[in-house]
Amino acid sequence: EAAVTQSPRSKVAVTGGKVTLSCHQTNNHDYMYWYRQDTGHGLRLIHYSYVADSTEKGDIPDGYKASRPSQENFSLILELASLSQTAVYFCATGTGSYAEQFFGPGTRLTVL
């Protein structure tokens, strides 16, 4: 059974629309992360959280909000989707410090 799941796996959104990407974990990890991956590039950190009801900005937070309502769930919200936000989004979990992270399967978002 997958420990990190994401929904939806694929989504097409219109410019200016609201998009919510969801992540659920059964790893019992405190830390959860949202990354985006653009073709030919590595992953870049958008937001992360180390406790429920609290989120932190990553390296590229502009245009994104995050929500952590429980230890298991972490959402990424695009209030006004833009063409430049077309990418694959990955959720990951970890125990913090210098530990490795465990990734979900990704959500492919296309903004038209």
Positions touching other proteins (CB under 8 A) are: 4, 31, 33, 40-45, 48, 50, 58, 90, 92, 94-106
- Cβ closest to other proteins, residue 73 vs residue 95: 95
Q: How far is the CB of 57 from other proteins (least distance, A)?
A: 11
Q: How far is the CB of 53 from other proteins (least distance, A)?
A: 18
Query: Which runs of E-coded beta strand occur in the chain?
Result: 4-7, 10-13, 19-25, 31-37, 43-51, 54-57, 65-67, 73-78, 87-94, 101-103, 107-111
d(CA 32, CA 30) in angstroms, rounded, equals 7
- Cβ closest to other proteins, residue 59 vs residue 62: 59
- Cβ closest to other proteins, residue 34 vs residue 111: 34
